Structure 1
Amino acid sequence: MDKILYGTAYYYEYLPTDRLAKDIEMMKKAHLNIVRIGESTWGTYEKQSGVFDFSPLDKVLDAMGKAGISVIVGTPTYAIPTWLAREHPEIMVQQKEERLPYGARQIMDITSPAYLFYGERIIRKMLEHINEHPAIIGYQVDNETKSYGTSSSNVQAGFVKYIKKEFNNDIEKFNREFGLDYWSNRINSWEDFPSMDGTINGSLGTEFAKYQRQLVTDYLKWQVNIVNEYKKSKQFVTHNFDFEWRDYSYGIQPDVNHFDAAETLDFVGTDIYHPSQSKLTGTEISFAGDLIRSIKHKSYLVLETQAQAFKDRVPYPGQLRLSAYSHIASGANMIEYWHWHSTHNSFETYWKGILNHDSQSNPIYEEIQKTGSELENISSSLVNLNIHADVCILVSNQSLTAINWFPFSENKNYNDIFRRLYDPFYKLNIRTDISDENHIKPSDYKLIVVPSLYSVSDKVLEKLNDYVENGGHVIYMFKSGFTDEHVKVRTSIQPAIIEKTAGVHYELFVTPDDLDAKLKPSLEGPISSDDNLHLDDWMELLIPDSAKTLANYDHPVWKKYAAITENNYGKGQVVYIGCLPSENVINDLIKDQAEQLHLTNKNSPKYPIVVKTAKNIKNENLTFYLNYSDKKQILPSQISKVDIFTNQVGKNFESIPPWGVKIFKNKEKEV
């Protein structure tokens, strides 16, 4: 791309009055240069089966093209029309033997032959109609696609075929690997294969979830292949991946393997939502951006992020601008707000867009206008950033699902572990990539951080052992290596296979009862005794072999056991954490590793100033300073660097206002 795309989702079909010309006038004044349209309006474009009317789409495309605003068109398949639900009720998704009623979006079975027939028809009819339009620069396939828990008869039959292929039709090996002799769950004939709706076998349930994720990958590939028949050479295809939702984007998406599903996309796209007002930290923008950027190791598209959203998310002055530059600092080439105008009817009436329900200018619009004006001037210095990370967080959909089957806590899951590890890196201003066990290249990194790698093959664990032996550093969280890729518990000493490089093993694991369990840090270790050391979820009672103890359990019964250890092996080092300590403890451990590996700059500002560096296409080194606080902050000397907004040399002790942004580039490409 040759510029940062800055825009909004626009739904002309939702408007109570025709104000297209006025909206475009306001978009131009706000320096918006991109809109996304069409992805949720199947029922408008095909009011009855085979009766197509793309005139609303034509009207918007023509008007945007005339105004010089580029367009991304979404395939409208994620919300099915009423006539389709009536004519083909089998399209409605079936979950746990219950078919969902029509009403919400994303309630269809993405494997249904009828759905795929009509979905392909609307895609082809739409693209045949519009693909020559010069305003279109790209297409978005579907929208935040999942399997939606589909478990219909055709899904069950497909799973049996998948298992037969995986095990080369060897039913005895399959029964053995999945432990199906338990409770007479043994399958003695493929015809006896039961529905997964009632399975109590965690191995089988986890494998079914993996198969459902593959359905999403296959579905998106199917749509991409159709769109590729129509797109022009300078157009792209993308999709908007989202994350585990806890009223905002929180962690790894359990229902989609982003790394596999993105393989056929030209650009990886994403939807990122986050807390606001005093709760705005930028962490969600950063972790989501790191993950999406790491999929192809290149710039990505933010297809949705919030303008106002819910009433508790209306941002403070400066926060929208700060968030926009935070997306760019993580590698985004596009920022698109969801959405332009607040909807006047139905489910999302109170999810507010850039404009309120009166569609007039307001402080949100005015801040976007200011940011758009800036981006128009400096875009060429911020597009297609080259970003390097020395740290990678290794995540695993397989382990996430398996831990859901065998939880370590009543109120925490895999993503709590992931965020406990990610957030301190963010606040220490250490850039990270995020990859999975099938795509990571360990030799690219000085440090690999592993949230509980509970279900994983021997091959991956041996690869990590080799990485350590050759000089790499690893931080493992508890339960890593416990089961193989089929969630079968290994019979070897735990932590299995990595015990060799971790230099520690355990014979018992417990959840403490009402006795108070805490950590007791080693005097020579990096953990501060002033930290919050209380534990209440999971304790592996570690026995060091060659490892050094960094913390014991401060418990009347379990005090002789280690809780956190560090071991040198070959040229590398492993830190093994046998519990879920506080963020402060993890922060101490990460700071210690960062100092050993020279990952931090002692002169760099501390959080709430977030610092991110990148190299632009002009070969200039950029430094972003993002103030995530309501107080003015003082920056270190920038005397040799140029302020990208003013093009003037930075002065000593530059100040940065509340929720403010400073971006400097090296003068004359200095290093």
Structure 2
Amino acid sequence: MLYGAAYYHEYQPYERLEQDIDLMKEMNLTVVRLGESTWYSWEPEDGVFKLDWMDRVIDAMHAADIKVIFGTPTYAIPPWMAKKHPEVMAQHHSGTYVPYGYRQNMNHAHPAFRYYAERVIRKLISHYASHPAIIGYQIDNETSSGQLHNPDVFQKFLWYLKDKYKTVDNLNEVWGLTYWSHRINEWDELWKPDGNSTPGYDLDWRRFQSQLVTDLLDWEAQIVREYARPDQFITQCFVGAYSRPEANVFDISKSLDIVAINPYHVTQSGLELDPQNDTDTIGPEWMTSRQDHVGVSQIFLNGDWARGAKEQNFLITELNANSIGGSSTNYPGYEGQLRQAVYTFISKGANMVAYWHWHTLHYGFETYWGGVLGHSLEKGRIGREFEQIGAELIAHSDILTDLSTQADVGFLYHEDSKYALSYMPALSQPGTGNPDPLTYERVFDNFYRMYFNVNAQTAIVHPEQEFEKYPLLVVPALYAADDALLERLVAYAKNGGHLLLTFRSGYGDEFARARWAVAPGILRDAVGASYQEYSNLMKEVLVKGEGLDLPEGAAATAWADGLELESAEALATYQHPHFGQFPAIVTKVVGKGRVTYCGTLPNMPLGEALAAWTMNKAGIDPVIEGLPTTVRVTSTTATSGERLLFFTNWSWTPQTLPAIPGGGKDLLANVSISESDTLELGAWDVKIIVQAK
């Protein structure tokens, strides 16, 4: 188990390498990530390389028995390159170059960039590959293109379309270009994306842009692999769940040995699960502008997201140790929240947790993106909590590493549906009539949180993976899917699985065209209901149970399919003078399994009732019955075969847990508990119970 931080000796205001390392050892840090952020320091002039400044850093880390993950510095180009090759700068709108001054502001597909990037990668990796401190490599950093509109990129897009569709007639047909007289006779008549209004064009453009990022990282991985030792891994740090708009995590992961993720999260009251104490979520605007994308469930979702890409253990390369964001959003976590996040990610399969970064910068854009050490460069409260976590991880490294996670409920993630619903959103932004480009993420998050709130053991799975192994499969907003995937989902239910579909599933085909059949098309017979109309909901509509026990306040939000029963039975109906004629949720036995269809976006009372009902019907028992509202449990298996139960209390209120069947051992306290003992969890506390295999 690795625990550490990114380290930038080159950013320190004075020489303190020895002092930093002494402090790292005192605080039980075991790994650093370095090298990825300062191309200029490696190559201050074209073809002039300086490596000695890093040699002494890596040598010192090795002497201190601190492991190193080495990064390729290709995400932030030096000014001399922009000056010498202005054409290498990105164009996010045709004809307008992005000015120099930020990061990821270059056209990473341009031959000039590739030339310089390959040269610096080969220079660095060939020099450092044999160093015994280096355990692996991070290629680039949170890679994205920002949608490149450069002329050479558009030409590549044309080649991509020619290879995919072969003829302009096929393209005309698939994109529906008869509309508005957009049919083309020759490939060179295709307009640039700036003025596009065609959904099929947009979907292919997004697919193509993500392919550019996949190609870049695959290219870098191949270069690094020429020099890397067999015992060194290659990774790439993705932004948290859903990643960058142009990064297809599943495709990229095929070029990696292990997946890494940077899952920043809200802190303080934003992690409060006690309804009595819950307050408005606080944090940087980019994180909190959407309330349904924050909270405790997002920490768990990020763990599932990282593990799902390769269905393997993963790394956390960047996590918030302190306040993150800008100078006006200072919200360091409460005492214990740092520790909770660490053990939550470990329970989901993390083999490393590291922070960005070791010390808080004294200058630059991220001056107030806090590290383990504050601006004083001395150990404070956060440093002491870091030290405690590090000591625990060193003491229990063997049992906590390479955990296998229990998962009974799978969530099918679909990149194309996310793209399609970004361009033509189904939902409006809450309280407005404005389209919500995060429709897919919003639906996915909502359904994930429903199951999180009933303590389900969850996983995220991609269509190329074996989702049939989960007794319950949740499929949020599968809008742009081909026939084969829809038919496979029906077969999953017929063979014994419980399939929960949401609205917009099966509505479009793989080209984002609305299907010319009564919705939900291929899924209609298995769903046992159909609809000819649907409506956005500006306000909540209460629903009543028709076979589903519902609590007070259960309601539909945002959307309502006008479902008509065929062979299904209603589970819930709207309480409304118009929508009351339609069921909100239906279910049907199909073959050996069952299909349940939810035609709305449930609020949490409705969602939790539906989640519990579907789990019961799928034969899934809770890990522990009767847990307090603020407590979550995750079940895992160690390589030794022992079962580990991770309990976390997301509240100021201490909690008493019911007796744990079979008892076990409190790992961190080194205390045995019998199956008749209750377990006490303090405010923002963690307990790990080990049970014999």
Partner of 1:511: 536
Partner of 1:436: 462
- Aligned pair 1:589/2:610, yes or no? yes
How far off is 1:235 after superposition? 0.7
Q: Which moved more, 1:278-287 or 1:297-306?
A: 278-287
Instruction: For residue 154 of structure 1, give the secondary structure of its aligned residue in structure 2.
Output: helix
Partner of 1:627: 649
Which residue, 358, 374, 377 being the options, matches 1:359? 377
Q: Deviations over 1:296-332 (max 9, x none)?
A: 2221000110100335430111111111111101100
CA contact (8 A) 1:302 1:336 kept: yes
Which residue, 243, 249, 254 being the options, matches 1:258? 249
Partner of 1:305: 319
Q: Deviations over 1:376-419 (max 9, x none)?
A: 11111100011231211011111111111211223142111111
Instruction: For residue 602 of structure 2, give the secondary structure of its aligned residue in structure 1.
Output: coil
**CA distance in 2 between partners of 1:524 and 1:423 (Å):** 23
Which residue, 568, 592, 600 being the options, matches 1:571? 592
1:295–1:534 distance in 2 versus 1, CA, 3 Å: closer
Partner of 1:275: 266
Structure 1 residues 518-667: aligned runs within 5 Å: 518-528=541-551, 530-533=552-555, 535=557, 537-601=558-622, 603-638=625-660, 640-651=663-674, 652-666=677-691
TM-score normalised per structure 1: 0.95
Structure 1 residues 21-36: aligned runs within 5 Å: 21-36=18-33
1:538–1:486 distance in 2 versus 1, CA, 3 Å: same
What amino acid is aligned across from residue 522 of structure 2 in structure 1?
I
Structure 1 residues 175-324: aligned runs within 5 Å: 175-243=172-240, 251=242, 253-280=244-271, 281-310=295-324, 311-324=329-342
Partner of 2:127: 129
**CA distance in 2 between partners of 1:584 and 1:253 (Å):** 32
Instruction: For residue 573 of structure 2, give the secondary structure of its aligned residue in structure 1.
Output: strand
Q: Which moved more, 1:16-25 or 1:281-290?
A: 281-290
Instruction: For residue 312 of structure 2, give the secondary structure of its aligned residue in structure 1.
Output: coil
- Aligned pair 1:416/2:442, yes or no? yes
1:327–1:558 distance in 2 versus 1, CA, 3 Å: closer
What amino acid is aligned across from residue 573 of structure 1 in structure 2?
R
Q: Deviations over 1:528-574 (max 9, x none)?
A: 3x124253x32211111011112223332332122221122112111
CA contact (8 A) 2:548 2:609 kept: no
How far off is 1:370 after superposition? 0.8
What amino acid is aligned across from residue 399 of structure 2 in structure 1?
S
1:512–1:372 distance in 2 versus 1, CA, 3 Å: closer
Partner of 1:82: 79
Which residue, 445, 451, 454 being the options, matches 2:479? 454
CA contact (8 A) 1:35 1:71 kept: yes
How far off is 1:654 after superposition? 2.0
CA contact (8 A) 1:92 1:109 kept: yes
Instruction: For residue 305 of structure 1, give the secondary structure of its aligned residue in structure 2.
Output: coil
Instruction: For residue 388 of structure 2, give the secondary structure of its aligned residue in structure 1.
Output: helix
**Gap regions ≥5 residues in structure 1:** 244-248
CA contact (8 A) 1:304 1:335 kept: yes
Partner of 1:49: 46
How far off is 1:86 after superposition? 0.6
How far off is 1:76 after superposition? 0.3
How far off is 1:607 after superposition? 3.5
What amino acid is aligned across from residue 255 of structure 2 in structure 1?
T
CA contact (8 A) 1:449 1:474 kept: yes
Instruction: Tell me the matched-pair count.
Output: 653
**CA distance in 1 between partners of 2:244 and 2:77 (Å):** 24
**CA distance in 2 between partners of 1:165 and 1:448 (Å):** 35
Partner of 2:140: 142
- Aligned pair 1:40/2:61, yes or no? no
What amino acid is aligned across from residue 619 of structure 1 in structure 2?
G
Partner of 1:154: 152
What amino acid is aligned across from residue 617 of structure 2 in structure 1?
Q
Structure 1 residues 9-20: aligned runs within 5 Å: 9-20=6-17
**CA distance in 2 between partners of 1:119 and 1:331 (Å):** 33
What amino acid is aligned across from residue 428 of structure 1 in structure 2?
V
CA contact (8 A) 1:308 1:351 kept: yes
Partner of 1:325: 343
**CA distance in 2 between partners of 1:116 and 1:374 (Å):** 44
What amino acid is aligned across from residue 417 of structure 1 in structure 2?
V
How far off is 1:429 after superposition? 1.7
Instruction: For residue 649 of structure 1, give the secondary structure of its aligned residue in structure 2.
Output: strand
Instruction: For residue 474 of structure 1, give the secondary structure of its aligned residue in structure 2.
Output: strand
Partner of 2:280: none
1:252–1:420 distance in 2 versus 1, CA, 3 Å: farther
Instruction: For residue 672 of structure 2, give the secondary structure of its aligned residue in structure 1.
Output: coil
What amino acid is aligned across from residue 175 of structure 1 in structure 2?
N
Instruction: For residue 688 of structure 2, give the secondary structure of its aligned residue in structure 1.
Output: strand
CA contact (8 A) 1:517 1:553 kept: no
How far off is 1:525 after superposition? 2.0
What amino acid is aligned across from residue 611 of structure 1 in structure 2?
V
The percent of aligned pairs where both chains have the same amino acid is: 37
Instruction: For residue 155 of structure 2, give the secondary structure of its aligned residue in structure 1.
Output: helix
What amino acid is aligned across from residue 583 of structure 2 in structure 1?
A
**CA distance in 1 between partners of 2:547 and 2:122 (Å):** 67
Partner of 1:113: 111
What amino acid is aligned across from residue 252 of structure 2 in structure 1?
A
TM-score normalised per structure 2: 0.92
Instruction: For residue 387 of structure 2, give the secondary structure of its aligned residue in structure 1.
Output: helix
How far off is 1:333 after superposition? 0.1
How far off is 1:590 after superposition? 0.6
